[in-house]
């Protein structure tokens, strides 16, 4: 091997060593965190590509659970039975919530609130139960992605009963058909994420609820 060849090999070796050091330096440099990485994620306005539909809880079958629910009913109101278990006068930390007129799905425009009363198996961890309600068109499609209203209930661990309150808009309920989307999420997460949508219910707003309800049962 002549002198020129040795010099060329030496230069190539130095080049390889230098390149290796540059690569190692690049990978060993501490990562400079972007300030945006330290911020909690914001709630997404839209968490689904298309409109999502879930299981309908309108048709209940006795003894057949609906998703996580042992029972779930739309109602005109609710009662709290504090002493319904044990001796009369003894109070429980998890009172039973009983729906008033369960199964009611037709209401008047001046109804202050509509209730969704439910029972679940005792929860191991706290959870959030949420509802969004939307006005539908004549084809059963949601008119606007913006809900008419929302409600969220935090249910402690080992609790079984709860209710969601669908409050009337300030000027009363516009007449028509409504869809209620129901969500269940762990405590602290986004209450209305599409992945946590478990089902839906429907109700109507009419001028004469009694007449409409009677016609629907024939």
pLDDT at 78: 94
Residues 81 and 91: their CA atoms lie apart, in Å, by 9
Confidence of residue 36 (pLDDT cuts 50, 70, 90): very low
* 46-55, 66-75, 115-124, 144-153: segment of lowest average pLDDT: 46-55
The distance in angstroms from the start CA to the end CA of the chain is 106
Among residues 84, 217, 202, 57, the alpha carbon closest in space to that of 134 is found at: 202
Contacts of 116 (CB under 8 A, 6+ apart): 72, 73, 74, 75, 131, 163, 164, 166, 180, 182, 201
The mean-pLDDT minimum among 28-32, 33-37, 99-103 falls in: 33-37
**pLDDT score at 218:** 41
Least confident residue range of 55-59, 102-106, 169-173: 55-59
pLDDT of residue 45: 47
- Rounded Cα distance, 99 and 102, in Å: 5
Q: Which residue has the higher pLDDT, 127 or 13?
A: 127
What distances in angstroms separate CA 88 from CA 80, 91, 97, 218, one per listed residue? 14, 8, 17, 41
* pLDDT at 150 (0 to 100): 97
What's the confidence (pLDDT) of residue 121? 86
For residues 208 and 91, which has the higher predicted lDDT (pLDDT)?
A: 208
Cβ–Cβ contacts within 10 Å for residue 133, how many? 23
pLDDT band at 1 (very low <50, low <70, confident <90, very high): low
Better-predicted residue by pLDDT, 43 or 106: 106
Q: How far is CA 13 from CA 3, 5, 23, 84, in A?
A: 16, 12, 16, 86
Quote the pLDDT of residue 159. 83
**For residue 72, what pLDDT is reported?**
93
Query: Sorting pLDDT into bands at 50, 70 and 90, what band is 141?
Result: very high
- The structural domains of the chain, with segments of one domain joined by +, span 55-217
Alpha carbon distance 27, 215 (integer Å): 73
pLDDT for position 160? 86
CATH topology of domain 55-217: Immunoglobulin-like (2.60.40)
C-alpha to C-alpha distances, 90 to 86, 156, 159, nearest whole angstrom: 6, 21, 18
**pLDDT, averaged across the chain:** 75
The confidence score (pLDDT) of residue 108 equals 97
C-alpha atoms less than 13 angstroms from C-alpha of 151 in its C-beta half-sphere: 20
C-alpha 16/C-alpha 140 separation (Å) is 69
């Amino acid at each position: 091997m002549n002198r020129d060849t040795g010099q060329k090999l030496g230069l190539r070796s130095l080049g390889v060593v230098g390149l290796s050091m540059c690569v190692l330096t690049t990978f060993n440099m501490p990562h400079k965190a972007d300030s945006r990485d330290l911020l909690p994620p914001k709630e997404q306005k839209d968490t689904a590509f298309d409109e999502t539909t879930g299981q309908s809880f309108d048709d209940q079958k006795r003894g057949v659970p609906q998703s996580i629910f042992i029972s779930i009913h739309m109602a005109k109101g609710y009662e709290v039975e504090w002493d319904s278990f044990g001796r009369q006068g003894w109070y429980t930390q998890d009172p039973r919530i009983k729906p008033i007129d369960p199964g009611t799905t037709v209401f008047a425009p001046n109804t202050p609130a509509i209730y969704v009363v439910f029972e679940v198996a005792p929860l191991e961890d706290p959870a959030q139960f949420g509802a969004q309600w939307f006005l539908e068109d004549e084809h059963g499609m949601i008119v606007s992605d913006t809900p008419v209203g929302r409600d969220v209930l935090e249910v402690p661990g080992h609790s079984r009963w709860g209710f969601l309150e669908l409050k009337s808009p300030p000027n009363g309920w516009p007449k028509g058909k409504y869809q209620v989307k129901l969500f269940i999420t762990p405590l602290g997460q986004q209450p209305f994420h599409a992945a946590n949508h478990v089902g839906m219910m429907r109700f109507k707003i009419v001028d004469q609820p009694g007449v409409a309800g009677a016609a629907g049962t024939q």
